[in-house]
Amino acid sequence: MTYAYIIACYLGPRRIPCVNYINNPFYYIQKHLEFLKTHKIPKLDLILIMLNSISKSDLVNVLDMVKSYNPIDYKHDGIINVINNYTDIKYALLIEDDYLPCNENVFENFRKRMDNDTFYVCQFWTDHAAMSNGMIDLAKAKEIYSKAGRVFMLSGGEDYRFLDLNQRCFLNLVRFKYKLIGLNEEFKHTFSSVREGGVMVYGNGETEILTPII
């Protein structure tokens, strides 16, 4: 059993400005690469960087950054390729680029909540994946894809209305069959917000599993 680390990268304007990101749109990607270089994650076989940009210069910049880090296997193609061609990888951690794992045990903390009935273990769950970083079972993802032609229910819009809708509805294709749970009780979860002084904290735990890059 091995893992994939999939980073969802956004290179456009952000609702919550970060000086480092404004000065360098690849800042968050660089932080992930630094983490992966300095932390040995057991059974990690694949690192997937997913870009929202189709700019050739953006791709070249990311590939140049990757070359300086001693990668395991870095790819920039889509998650469908992973579920079809990396059949030896059991679970994938999906993480937004502006969040970072707190330590190398991040995969095991998600995996131990997986069972035969669960498709997705997310960071924080309410009536939807309110903090949608989390782990998916790739065999179940392949099953959904073979039936529906896709895994996630996503709109093509780019403004905040569509982004909010996607976060609430992207798991609709799997909810009818599999469980979707969160790590609400085990950990505390910090959320960067345009309200509440910039930070909101959820969950009942004392330690974090993932933390926003502020």
What's the pLDDT tens digit per position in 102-153?
Answer: 999 999 999 999 999 999 999 998 887 877 899 999 999 999 999 998 888 8
26, amino acid identity: F
Other C-beta atoms within 10 Å of 89: how many? 19
Q: If you average pLDDT over residues 148-167, what whole number do you get?
A: 74
Whole-number pLDDT of residue 127: 82
Give residue-wise pLDDT tens across range 66-106: 877 655 455 555 778 888 888 899 999 999 999 999 999 99
The architecture in CATH of the region 2-212 reads Alpha-Beta Complex (3.90)
Where would I find the H helices in the chain?
Answer: 19-23, 27-38, 56-67, 79-85, 106-111, 138-148, 160-169
> CA 63 to CA 74: how far, in whole Å?
9
Q: What's the confidence (pLDDT) of residue 160?
A: 61
Of 179, 153, 174, 1, nearest to 91 by C-alpha is 1
Question: Which pTM value belongs to this model?
Answer: 0.88
Q: What are the residue boundaries of the structural domains of the chain, listed by start?
A: 2-212
Average pLDDT over residues 58-63: 83
- The band of 20, judged by pLDDT with boundaries at 50, 70 and 90, is very high
Report d(CA 178, CA 117) in Å as an integer.
5
Question: For position 197, what pLDDT does the model report?
Answer: 57
Q: Indicate the pLDDT class of residue 208, thresholds 50, 70 and 90.
A: very high
Q: How far apart are CA 3 and CA 91, in angstroms?
A: 5
pLDDT for 30: 93
